[in-house]
Amino acid sequence: MTPIVFSFLCVVASVHDGDTFTCADSNLIVRMWGAASAELKDPAGVTQGDWMRQHILGQRLVCDVKGTNENRIVAQCYLLGTDIAADAVAAGAAADCVRFSGGLYAPLEGSQTVHIPMCTPKPRVRLKPAPATKPPPQ
């Protein structure tokens, strides 16, 4: 699990899509940690963004910062003590991002979950076997 860097309060001013929102007081852009939604150009992304908007817009979240990504804070956020990523995955509005969550939300996914390619674990590099050595001449 990614360590918590610090925590902050966020009143959600706007929801960009199913996994990114902006906080009112600070104008911080927050990317939800451990789960991801489809892009808005995808019909599933529009639906997922609508779900997130209905659930967190105007709400006060407690967010534990895990790091940064481009111009965004990456954080695990809670609404009334409930992890919003867990709720989103359970509702089909996001997919577990195993690459970052380590599979924390995978048990919550349903059969209709839209998986996001960037979230799949990176494949392990397989080493090629060492070339066979010739036996020493006798």
pLDDT of residue 50: 93
Q: What is the CATH number of the domain that holds 50?
A: 2.40.50.90
Domain assignment present for 33: yes
Q: Which two tokens stand for residue 41?
A: 């150009």
Domain assignment present for 44: yes
Domain assignment present for 137: no
Domain assignment present for 103: yes
Q: What is the CA radius of gyration of the chain?
A: 20
* pLDDT digit string, tens, across residues 65-88: 998 888 899 999 999 999 999 999
Domain assignment present for 20: yes
Per the structure, how many domains does the chain have? Answer: 1
Q: What domain range is 37 assigned to?
A: 7-119
Of these ranges, 61-65, 97-101, 128-132, the one predicted with the greatest mean pLDDT is: 61-65
Domain assignment present for 133: no
Measured from the Cβ of residue 59, the count of other Cβ atoms closer than 10 Å reads 14
Domain assignment present for 135: no
- DSSP string for residues in 13-61: EEEEETTEEEETTT--EEEESSEE---TTSHHHHHHHHHHHHHHTT-EE
Domain assignment present for 130: no
Predicted model pTM: 0.79
